[in-house]
Every structure is written in C-alpha cells, then in structure tokens.
A = this chain, B = another copy of it.
Amino acid sequence: MANVRLQNLGITLGGNQIISDLNLSVEAGEFLVLLGPSGCGKSTLLHAIAGLIDVSAGSVEIAGQDMTWADPSERQIGMVFQSYALYPTMTVEKNMSFGLRINGTPKAEIARRIEKVAEMLHLTPLLQRKPAALSGGQRQRVAIGRALVREAEVFLFDEPLSNLDAKLRSTLRRELKLLHQQLQSTMIYVTHDQVEAMTLATRIVVMQAGKIQQIGTPECVYERPVNLFVAGFLGAPAMNFIRGELDAQARFISNTLSMDLSTYAFATSWSTPAEVILGVRPEQIQIREDGQFVGAVMLVEPMGNHQVVWLQAGAQTISSIVNDQRPFEIGQTVLYSIDTCKISLFNPQSEQRL
C-alpha cells in the first residue's frame, strides 16, 4: 500500500516540454486510469514515476517519501512497458522471475508465483520460449507477467492489454481487478480502451498535451465532462456537439433542434442569451417513431450487439446508438428524440462546461 504524489512535475524530453506543472495525488490502493490522446505524455508520466527519466521540475513522492531522485529499484514498482522491453536472451520464465531472483525470493516461492501468473496469462506452454519466438500478444502477456509476479507496492501499466483479443482482454481485466483487490496495491494504468477505463478505474485522469484535464470517477468523467476536450475524448462513438443558443428560459435553440433545458444543472453562472455547445452522447439519441426531431440516415454501422446510425440533420451529423437490429436504409428519414437529462453544455469560447 503506497500512495503516489506528484507535485508541480515538469518533464523535458529532447528539448520539448512534455509535461509541465502537473499535480496528481494517487491514494494508496487506488486504481487510477490515465486516459489521453496519443502522444499526450502518459508514458512519459509513468516513466517519471518509475524514476526512469529525470524530471526537470517538481517532485515525486511514493508512500509518503520523496523519491524524486531515488533509484528505480528503490521505488518498489512493477511496470509494464508499452514497448514490452522483454529480456531477449532470457526465456519467458526467466524474464518473469528475473526481478524475484534479484530480490532473493526463495526458489519455491518464485516457482509458485510464476506458475500462478503464467496460468492466469495462458503462458504456461510458452515458459521455455524466448521472446523472439512469441507472437505480439504473447510478448505483451510476458510483459504483464513480469510486472505481476513482483507483487509491488505500485504497479504502472502502460496499455497492457492493447494487443490481446477481446476475450482474453476481458478475462485479464477481471483478473487484474481481482488481483488489485487482493494485493491492495496502487495501480496506475494507461489505456485507450474505454471498457477497461470504465470497469477498472476508481478514478480516471484525462490528460491532454501534458496537462490534466479532469480527474474523477468513471461515471463523473463520462457524464459530467469538465470541458469540450474531455467530452469529445471519452465515448465511442464520440459525443455529438451541436452549436446553438440558450435563451433566458433555458431553451436550447439551433437550426434543427429546440429543447427545454431548464432542469440542467449548471456548473457556472451564465447570462442569456448565450452561444453554447450542446453535447449529447449517441446513446442519448433515440431513434423512434415518436421522436421530436427529424434526420436522414447517412450511414449505418452494425456492431454486433448494437448499431451506430449516423444521421444528417441540417448541416449537422449526429450519431446514435440503436440497441436492436432493426434495418435502416441509407437516405431514409427517421425521427429521433434526445434524452435531456444527461446532456452537457459548453461555453464555445472557453470550451468549459457550463
């Protein structure tokens, strides 16, 4: 059990300021998920926490101790590298047991842990292979295994499941969650998979360009994004943004839509009439016969258990999730309604939530 605290962290790589003035406090035992667009600095942040790159400013505190300049090996960290970084000359087993052997863990204990982890990661038949003779997903699992056997205080996972198939991924997701509950260790987890983020996180951190945009529980971040970026970043398909105006009666009016938002919980005060951006998630747009608004079907994407229907409404393209398999035709005119209780409003200038 160890907390992690980053204060005013700044990191410069190759002359670029990648992260600046970042503050983040991860509680002991927390499962923190880092989200953010490609290249925003997630891996960099993990590397800094692990002590693998020198920070240019600020401090890193682990388990209450200033570790800014501590050696990586002193930090009691397990890490899955995005690029795996497997030891090429060692077998899978040796790869995983390396850290334990260094710690002087008894042989029997090592064998036990390796067996357990290999089982969990379906690596048992591959234990004597070297990384070069593994598939991409197998390598990734070895990387996970190497971190997991360590039973460290803090785990750093950098997109650990990205190359695994959906089935394995969901199994492992569950295993990781269980493990987290068992070990009570702190986990910082980078992922691009929304399902992982939503199911694993106690809190989600959304980053952009080296800055934290929002920290909160999955529901909070998903339902009450603090700004346009977070709103647009989470959710697939992305949130629909509709520009319009809010009048004094809290009615939202755009070219194609008009609806009453008087129940909306405003985050800030505002003066009417105001330009606003209305954010509405595809699942809040229901295509139904008694819908209030009209759109034309542009594109239908069947997804197995649901379909995404793209509607043209005026100049606006709107995506909607349809949870059944009823057929749509391209060009067909449909009616849809919007569930107003979960919408978001943003200030188009500041891009902040209203």
A13 touches B133 (CB 8 A): yes
**Min distance, Cβ A84 to any Cβ of chain B, angstroms:** 9
B38 touches A138 (CB 8 A): yes
Of A22-30, A50-58, A192-200, A242-250, which stretch is located at the interface?
A: A192-200
Q: Does A163 contact B (CB under 8 A)?
A: yes
Convert A154-173 into 0s and 1s, putting 1 for each residue whose CB lies closer than 8 angstroms to a CB of B. Answer: 00001100111111111000
Give Cα A37 to B301, complex, Å.
24
Q: Which residues of B contact A182 (CB under 8 A)?
A: none
A166 touches B193 (CB 8 A): yes
Give Cα A321 to B194, complex, Å.
16
**Min distance, Cβ A261 to any Cβ of chain B, angstroms:** 19
Give Cα A302 to B195, complex, Å.
9
Q: Does A338 contact B (CB under 8 A)?
A: no
Q: Does A235 contact B (CB under 8 A)?
A: yes
Q: Which residues of B contact A42 (CB under 8 A)?
A: 135
Give Cα A38 to B37, complex, Å.
26
Q: Does A183 contact B (CB under 8 A)?
A: no
Residues of A within 8 A of B (CB-CB), count: 62
**B-facing residues in A230-268 (Cβ within 8 Å):** 232-238
Give Cα A305 to B322, complex, Å.
11
Give Cα A122 to B37, complex, Å.
11
Q: Which residues of B contact A194 (CB under 8 A)?
A: 166, 303-304
Among candidates B41, B192, B199, residue contacting A166 with C-beta atoms closer than 8 Å: B192
7 cross-chain pairs, A with B, having the tightest CB-CB distances, nearest first: A38-B137, A283-B305, A82-B136, A165-B192, A39-B135, A222-B304, A162-B162
A192 touches B219 (CB 8 A): no
Q: Does A145 contact B (CB under 8 A)?
A: no
**Min distance, Cβ A344 to any Cβ of chain B, angstroms:** 13
Copies of this protein, total: 2
**B-facing residues in A102-134 (Cβ within 8 Å):** 122, 133-134
**Min distance, Cβ A236 to any Cβ of chain B, angstroms:** 5
Q: Which residues of B contact A133 (CB under 8 A)?
A: 13-14
A305 touches B170 (CB 8 A): no
Q: Which residues of B contact A38 (CB under 8 A)?
A: 122, 135-138, 140-141, 163-165, 168
Q: Does A33 contact B (CB under 8 A)?
A: no
20 A-B pairs with CB atoms under 8 Å apart are A36-B165, A38-B135, A38-B163, A38-B168, A137-B192, A165-B192, A166-B235, A167-B232, A167-B233, A167-B236, A170-B238, A198-B301, A198-B302, A198-B303, A218-B302, A219-B302, A222-B304, A283-B323, A321-B323, A323-B323
Give Cα A136 to B234, complex, Å.
20
A163 touches B170 (CB 8 A): no
Q: Does A150 contact B (CB under 8 A)?
A: no
